[in-house]
């Protein structure tokens, strides 16, 4: 009989840890920043991507599609409006979570290290604190991508840091110096 102890003795596991840097910048208001963010980071054209997959489109077509739809190099793949659900528990702070990324950049890491997709697309959060202050939070991209110790993946993580800096600047938010220090 196979027990958990026997199973774990038979299956070698890898344990790795790394440190990340969480970046939080003040924004004017949750909903105003959300509006600007969603203009700058539009939703991925899922129907067009699905059609391209079904007809076996070329990667060049995907590169063109993403370039045409991602003015700052990022697309939104998912949005979760947390506020309505959290209100049920009596929490009044506004909060919206996103998955943001760029599959054409992600592929450049995937070809060398598929595990990098644990961190691509990136999670971002626009939220309100207890005093009514509004904030944008994201983990610095270069940290998790650098944790794979592959210079090709690390370099792309740094590239994403720079793209994130350009996005924040375009949105009128403070650009954390960490995005230029990587």
Backbone angles phi, psi at 169, to 5 degrees: -60, -45
Cα separations (Å) of 25 from 28, 33, 74?
Answer: 10, 11, 19
Rounded mean pLDDT of 8-36? 88
16 in any annotated domain: no
59 in any annotated domain: yes
Backbone angles phi, psi at 157, to 5 degrees: -60, -40
With 90 as the cut, is the pLDDT of residue 10 above it?
no
11 in any annotated domain: no
4 in any annotated domain: no
Percent of the chain with pLDDT over 70: 93
128 near 104, Cβ under 8 Å?
A: no
What's the CA gap between 143 and 20, in Å, rounded?
5
With 90 as the cut, is the pLDDT of residue 182 above it?
no
64 in any annotated domain: yes
How many domains are there within the chain?
1
Q: Quick one: tokens of 92?
A: 């009044």
This model's pTM is above 0.85: yes
Rounded mean pLDDT of 11-33? 90
Tell the burial category of 84 from Cβ atoms under 10 Å away from its Cβ (0-12, 13-18, 19+).
Answer: exposed
CATH number, domain of 136, equals 3.30.310.70
Q: What is the pLDDT of residues 111-126, one digit of tens each?
A: 999 999 999 999 999 9
Percent of the chain with pLDDT over 90: 89
Range of the domain at 52: 21-176
Tell the burial category of 16 from Cβ atoms under 10 Å away from its Cβ (0-12, 13-18, 19+).
Answer: exposed
16 near 148, Cβ under 8 Å?
A: no
- Nearest-Å Rg of the Cα atoms of the chain is 19
Looking at every residue in the chain, the average pLDDT score rounds to 94
With 90 as the cut, is the pLDDT of residue 6 above it?
no
With 70 as the cut, is the pLDDT of residue 1 above it?
no
3 in any annotated domain: no
Segment (H or E) for 135: strand 134-139
Q: What is the pLDDT of residues 76-105, one digit of tens each?
A: 999 999 999 999 999 999 999 999 999 999
6 in any annotated domain: no
Residue 14: band (very low, low, confident or very high) from pLDDT cuts 50, 70, 90: confident
1 in any annotated domain: no
**Least confident segment among 10-14, 137-141, 163-167:** 10-14
């Amino acid at each position: 009989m196979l027990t958990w102890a026997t199973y774990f003795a038979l299956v070698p596991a890898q344990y790795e840890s790394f440190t990340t840097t969480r970046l939080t910048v003040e924004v004017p208001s949750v909903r105003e920043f959300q509006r600007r963010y969603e203009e700058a980071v539009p939703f991925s054209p899922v129907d067009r991507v699905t059609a391209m997959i079904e007809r076996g489109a070329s990667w060049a077509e995907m590169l063109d599609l993403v370039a045409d739809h991602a003015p700052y190099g990022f697309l939104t793949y998912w949005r979760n409006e947390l506020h309505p659900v959290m209100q049920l528990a009596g929490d009044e702070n506004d909060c919206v979570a996103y998955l943001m990324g760029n599959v054409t950049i992600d592929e450049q890491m995937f070809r060398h290290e598929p595990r990098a997709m644990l961190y691509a697309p990136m999670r971002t959060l626009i939220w309100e604190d207890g005093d009514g202050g509004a904030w944008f939070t994201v983990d610095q991209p270069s940290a998790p991508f650098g944790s794979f110790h592959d210079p090709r993946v690390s370099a792309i993580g740094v590239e994403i840091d720079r793209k994130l800096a350009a996005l924040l600047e375009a949105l009128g938010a403070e650009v954390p110096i960490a995005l230029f220090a990587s």
